[in-house]
Amino acid sequence: MAKTPIGLEPVVGSLTPSKKREYRVTNRLQEGKRPLYAVVFNFIDSRYFNVFATVGGNRVTVYQCLDGGVIAVLQSYVDEDKDESFYTISWACNIDGTPFVVAGGINGIIRVIDASNEKIHKSFVGHGDSINEIRTQPLKPSLIVSASKDESVRLWNVHTGICILIFAGAGGHRNEVLSVDFHPSDIHRIASCGMDNTVKIWSMKEFWTYVEKSFTWTDLPSKFPTKYVQFPIFLASVHSNYVDCSRWLGDFILSKSVDNEIVLWEPKMKEQSPGEGTADILQKYPVPECDIWFIKFSCDFHYNAAAIGNREGKIYVWELQSSPPVLIARLSHAQSKSPIRQTATSFDGSTILSCCEDGTIWRWDAVPTD
């Protein structure tokens, strides 16, 4: 990476905890022997803000956070294929609001589970290799995107089971895609990143008619005219190694590689030449011992804080939108030593969950200040 020119240096957060909030372990449970790769709260439907889901091995589990650190198991699903290893999970819903749990993993099959009827809704076959991340469009939660090892990102309609768009090809990723995220307000925009060390921003504006068409499609899903989006509108080389998590923060992007930090940057597109542009790195949030890939961070509903685990089982909670960044808390527990693959931050950030390589789920609750 080229040296950052003077005057464009990022503001780096200090690792001294501000003690703004204190967290305490309130629960720990062992789900199984296999590593847990993802945990996520439901932000789609306000009834289920305290419901979260985890994946590990061939199992998908739905839990509820109750008062007093209690976690209730609500539902559990097991793929009959023992070799399946789910990597990612996301909440979605049908157009009538039926809650769905969408999971994907090594088999490359997206499982759409109807949580209100406790049965499989649909299985999407199409990806040529494992699925590394699934995200839901917050404005239209029937739309999901999946990032796959097959170097593509695909947009699906869970309601009709249609693969609407494939983001791959001439300008696509050159290696596994590890993470993808919908822009929170611009419904046409997604950002993806992966093992080719790049972050790409894609627009589906020109293809939006297909997205609309997917909702009214009555024929077989396989007959749908799936389109390829071959060129991203922006390409950033912010990192020099695998980029395994990226999230929009308004129009900025938070992304992380294996360099012990989360980076906040602004994509600056050039109007005349799409695909080109520069990334202005604004802030950095250091996360010590976070140098292995496939560690993902999570934000609360309002993007006030981000929680990220590390290789050593510690969690760093950063205040995202202050400048310079403030470390809200550093969570550690003597028994939490296994790498934390993903965290989940509750609606208001008062509860943080972490799922670990050793198959444990940890619940941390903020200690009431008064």
Partner 1 sequence: MAEKSSPSASANRSEAPKDSSMTQSEENNLTVKEVLSVIALLKKQVTVDRSVSVKKRLEENRQKVGGITSHLYKLSNERRSSWISDSDSALDLLTKRQKDALGMQNGIDVSNGDKDSHSYQEASTAVLMGSSIPVKNAVRPIKLTEVKKLPPYTTWIFLDRNQRMTEDQSVVGRRRIYYDQNGGEALICSDSEEEVIEEEEEKRDFVESEDFILRMTIKEVGLSDPVLESLAQCFSRSPPEVKARYETLMKEEKDAGASKNADIEAQNWNSFLEKDLEAGLDSFDNLFCRRCLVFDCRLHGCSQDLIFPADKQTPWSHPDEENAPCGPHCYRLVLKSERNGTVSSPINTEEKSNSSSDGVGAQTSFRKKPSGPSARRKVKSCQSESASSNAKNLSESSDSEIGPRPEDSSSIPQLSPSKNKIAGKSGIRKRNSKRVAERVLVCMRKRQKKMAASDSDSVVSGGVMPADIKLRSNARKENEETMSSSQKNVKSPNTGRSRRKEWPLQEGLQGEVPEVPSSETINDLPRTSGNDGLRKEEFVDENICKQEASDHKSWKAIEKGLFEKGVEIFGRNSCLIARNLLNGLKTCWEVFQYMTCSDNKLACHAADGVISLLEGYSKFDLNGNMGNNEVRRRSRFLRRRGRVRRLKYTWKSAAYHSIRKRITERKDQPCRQYNPCSCQTACGKQCSCLLNGTCCEKYCGCPKSCKNRFRGCHCAKSQCRSRQCPCFAADRECDPDVCRNCWVSCGDGTGSLGVPPQRGDNYECRNMKLLLKQQQRVLLGRSDVSGWGAFLKNSVGKHEYLGEYTGELISHREADKRGKIYDRENSSFLFNLNDQFVLDAYRKGDKLKFANHSPDPNCYAKVIMVAGDHRVGIFAKERINAGEELFYDYRYEPDRAPAWARKPEASGSKKEDGAPSGRAKKLA
Check residue 69 for interaction with partner 1 (CB under 8 A).
yes
Q: Does 48 bind partner 1 (CB under 8 A)?
A: yes
Neighbours of 336 (CB within 10 A): 21
Residue 21 Cβ, how far from partner 1 at the closest point, in Å? Answer: 18
Angle at 96 between CA 92 and CA 98, to 5 degrees: 45
Residue nearer to partner 1 on the CB measure, 172 or 221: 172
> Binding partner 1 by CB under 8 A: which of 13, 35, 57, 99?
99
237: contact with partner 1 by CB under 8 A: no
Instruction: Candidates 91-99, 200-208, 305-313, 350-358: pick the segment binding partner 1 (CB under 8 A).
Output: 91-99
Q: Is 348 in the site for partner 1 (CB under 8 A)?
A: no
225 touches partner 1 (CB under 8 A): no
Among 289, 282, 293, 288, which residue's Cα sits nearest to residue 256? 293
What is the residue whose two structure tokens read 């372990």?
25
User: Does residue number 365 form part of the binding site for partner 1 (CB under 8 A)?
Assistant: no
Backbone angles phi, psi at 208, to 5 degrees: -65, -30
Tell the smallest beta-carbon distance from residue 226 to partner 1 (Å): 11
Q: Nearest distance from residue 211's CB to partner 1, in Å? A: 18
Interactions with partner 1, residue window 323-342 (CB under 8 A):
323-324
Site for partner 1 in 306-325 (CB under 8 A): 321-324
What beta strand segments (E) does 106-209 contain?
Answer: 110-114, 119-124, 131-136, 143-148, 153-157, 162-167, 177-182, 189-194, 199-203
Selected range binding partner 1 among 6-14, 15-23, 155-163, 338-346, rule: CB under 8 A? 6-14
DSSP-assigned letter for residue 311: T
Which residue, 12 or 15, is less far from partner 1 as judged by CB? 12
Instruction: Tell me which residue has tokens 């061939």.
Output: 58
Distances (CA, A) of 80 to 57, 85, 131, 146: 11, 11, 18, 22
Structure tokens at 328: 């809200």
The minimum distance between CB 216 and partner 1, in angstroms, equals 20
For partner 1, the closer CB: 5 or 368: 5
Tokens 């990102």 belong to: 153
Cβ–Cβ under 8 Å, residues 167 and 154: yes
Does 172 sit near partner 1 (CB under 8 A)? Answer: yes
Q: How far is the CB of 114 from partner 1 (least distance, A)?
A: 9
Q: Cis omega before residue 324 (within 30°)?
A: yes
Per-residue burial over 272-309, b if 16 or more Cβ lie within 10 Å, else e, is eeeeebebebbbbbbbeebeeebbbbbbbeebbbbbbb
* Of 17, 138, 274, 286, the one binding partner 1 by CB under 8 A: 138
What's the token pair of residue 287?
Answer: 């996360």
Q: Is there binding between residue 301 and partner 1 (CB under 8 A)?
A: yes
| Residue span binding partner 1 (CB under 8 A) among the ranges 163-171, 210-218, 306-314, 349-357 | 163-171
Burial 244-261 (b: 16+ CB within 10 A, else e): bbbbbbeebbbbbbbeeb
Smallest separation (angstroms) from partner 1 to the CB of 196:
8
Closest separation in Å from C-beta 291 to partner 1 = 11
| Cα–Cα distance measured from residue 315 to residue 208, given in angstroms and rounded to the nearest whole number | 39
Please report whether residue 15 would count as binding partner 1 according to CB under 8 A: no
Using CB under 8 A as the binding rule, whether residue 72 contacts partner 1 is answered as yes
Residues 243-282 that bind partner 1 (CB under 8 A): 249-252, 266, 280, 282
Q: Residue 74 CB, nearest distance to partner 1 (Å)? A: 4
* Residue 47 within binding range of partner 1, rule CB under 8 A: yes
Query: What are 359's two structure tokens?
Result: 């198959």
Shortest distance, CB of residue 252 to partner 1, whole angstroms?
Answer: 6
